[in-house]
Structure 1
Amino acid sequence: MTHFPPNYTDSYFNFLVSKGIKTSTLKQYSSDLNKFFFWMNNYKGTIEFNTFMALNDRDFEIFIGYISEKGYSDATFRRILSVLNQFLKHFNINSDVLLAKPKERPLRSLNKNDFISDDEMDILLKSMSKLGTSEARNYLIERNLAIVCLVRYYGLTPNDIASITMNGVNLAQKTIAINSNGTSLKIKLQDEHIQYIRTYRRSIDKSIRPRFRSKDPLFVAFFNLTFSFRFDYAAGIPQPLSVRAIQEMIKDEVKFAGLRKISAKHLRNSCILNFLSYGYSINKVITYFRLSDPFSINRYQKYLKSIES
């Protein structure tokens, strides 16, 4: 029975783990590579290492044709090829086809609906600052404001936010250091935004409050029924707020504010656009936002040019 993925992928995934790549990202990479190995098993009749190392650009062209017929979105199509290309590089295999093909299927053009406008952001922040009918939500106002500001004004993803630990937080210097998927980032927060974090942290009972200079998560899961933050007694640390909980909170606050459907992606898109409008270099923007596909920045440049002309 063929085993997916094959054992020779272990060295690659061990390398990714050593770089700090998250478990969720590793699972996505494994899923994408399995699509390739499933094709290879059908096309070559085997996924043995010698056969893999003998693959050439003609073989990769056939694989690209195979996934093109699957009806994947442009973003998924590009991601699968990007993941495969990085995997091949681990074995010193370079494919011009895999580098060139994504350019033939560019991501769709961005439009104003892909961003949150300044007016919408003002409405959202004012709404989030007001008390509502949910006691649990009212208890988390400062936490939620801090999270939304980290996405909109600093370009952090829900994954980034969920991964922040207290050894990277310096409230005195107003900085947060993040290590996400093997890349490090340090941001300096505005006074208002760091105050949200101070107030939120003080709202947590001292016995389970995230400790400075520790691996405790900055953002802690909350149990709505008891109005209490959760603690993982087995691990001896507060229970981290999940990525899904962050995403759902943003959607709930947007709905509460009476706005159109807006997600963390819209907030981050606006931050990327701001960086470009401020004149930061393309390389700096790609590095800061940790964009895996350099070609994706072209969409933001084109949209910025369209609204400036």
Structure 2
Amino acid sequence: MNEQQLPQFVKDYLVHLTKKGRQSSTIKRYTYDLMDFFHWLSVYKNTVSLTIWTELSREDIEQFFLYLMEERQYKVRTIRRIHSVLRQLATFYLKTKQHAIFLYEPPELELVPLQQSEWVTEKEARRLLSIIHSVQGLSEKQQEARPFFAGRNETIIRLFLDYGLSLQEVTRLTMNDVHFERNEVIIRSEKGEQLFSIEWKDEDKRCAYKYFKTIPEPVRPRFYSQDPFFVAFDFQRMTFRWSYENDQPKALTDIAIQKMLRLEVARAGLRKGISAQHLRNTFILRCLLNGESVQRIQEKLGLSTPLSLQRYLLTIKQLQNVGKTESWPY
């Protein structure tokens, strides 16, 4: 996205800053930061407008900053600067602090351990996994549909919890990346470059393959293609969706995965707010608790630098000092 492609209300805000006498270097920096955000939003929501901006949720904002941290590898100081720019934009238009940007706290400049609410315990993880194939709390129509995609939901949750994948890495998976014959899943960057691969456990591969075979053949993702591996389900027609525009199965979006996880968490009677990032945090902490080296975990997750693991190391140190194992990650 270039400056001319910014939404009109953002251009109006930049004009306002100019009239206030802000330096040209400041205006230029604000412009770049806002282009960063609205380019991401145009991909995330397929469009941008003042209405979409004002109706963003806290989860939407969290996904943007996770993208900056994990995909773009932005430093904390840069994250905090962009957060400040977005807060000022929200204040200018809304004149209140009702926008979702005010609900998100950017990371501290000084590293601090994760809070206990930022991972799941063994009890929570087992409860979440057990509810997936249960019909508890489902209507008759939902019970009828559940066998089609229960395996899909379990596979997604296990990719977060047992393999440490991020939300974006999961939504990007295509049939070119999933190799049942050799138990391998290739993880790619936003640009399609191979970052690393994971080796599926036999039971996880069987679960994933069973889900794959539940998709009717006419709309089933094709082997060795760019078809998405995780496909959206149509509850009205009781079958998986097809995108006529792309001539392939309709991909399950990151927003749909977030909604799925929220519903499964609620059905399991667990605390609100458990997200894909919480499950990924759990995986990283468990690896450290099991004695794996930082280098090994860096390789497992395809991280370009070990610096992003520093908070996890601080968290492990704190956990070991406290010693209450029932609150430790799954």
Cα distance in 2 between the residues matched to 1:194 and 1:211: 17
Give the letter for the 1:226 counterpart.
R
Give the letter for the 1:172 counterpart.
E
| 1:1-309 equivalent positions in 2, closer than 5 A | 5=3, 42-44=22-24, 78-79=75-76, 81=78, 105-132=109-136, 133=138, 134-135=142-143, 136-181=145-190, 182=193, 184-261=195-272, 262-291=274-303, 294-309=306-321
Give the letter for the 1:263 counterpart.
S
Give the deviation of 1:42 after TM superposition.
3.0
Cα distance in 2 between the residues matched to 1:154 and 1:265: 12
For structure 2, list consecutive stretches of 5 or more residues without a partner in the other structure. 33-60, 69-73, 82-105, 322-330
Give the deviation of 1:192 after TM superposition.
1.4
Measured against aligned partners, the alpha-carbon deviations of 1:59-99 in whole angstroms (never above 9, x if no partner) come to xxxxxxxxxxxxx9999895561699xxxxxxxxxxxxxxx
Cα distance in 2 between the residues matched to 1:149 and 1:233: 30
Measured against aligned partners, the alpha-carbon deviations of 1:195-247 in whole angstroms (never above 9, x if no partner) come to 11111111111011111111111101111221111111232211111001111
Give the letter for the 1:206 counterpart.
E
CA contact (8 A) 2:133 2:146 kept: no
Give the deviation of 1:280 after TM superposition.
3.1
CA contact (8 A) 2:151 2:208 kept: yes
Give the deviation of 1:138 after TM superposition.
4.4
Measured against aligned partners, the alpha-carbon deviations of 1:8-43 in whole angstroms (never above 9, x if no partner) come to xxxxxxxxxxxxxxxxxxx9xxx9xx99xx89x932
Give the deviation of 1:302 after TM superposition.
1.2
Cα distance in 1 between the residues matched to 2:256 and 2:203: 23
CA contact (8 A) 1:6 1:47 kept: no
CA contact (8 A) 2:241 2:249 kept: yes
Give the letter for the 1:110 counterpart.
L
Give the deviation of 1:304 after TM superposition.
0.7
Residue number in structure 2 paired with 1:90? none
| 4 and 42 in structure 1: CA distance in 2 versus 1, 3 angstrom threshold | farther
Aligned identity (percent) is 31
CA contact (8 A) 2:167 2:277 kept: no
Cα distance in 1 between the residues matched to 2:26 and 2:271: 50
Cα distance in 1 between the residues matched to 2:182 and 2:225: 17
Range moving further from structure 2, 275-284 or 205-214: 275-284
Give the deviation of 1:106 after TM superposition.
2.5
Q: CA RMSD in A?
A: 3.8
- Please report the TM-score for the alignment, with normalisation by the length of structure 1: 0.67
- Please report the TM-score for the alignment, with normalisation by the length of structure 2: 0.63
Give the letter for the 1:197 counterpart.
A
Alignment partner of 2:181: what SS?
A: coil
For structure 1, list consecutive stretches of 5 or more residues without a partner in the other structure. 8-26, 53-71, 85-101
CA contact (8 A) 1:125 1:145 kept: yes
Give the letter for the 1:265 counterpart.
Q
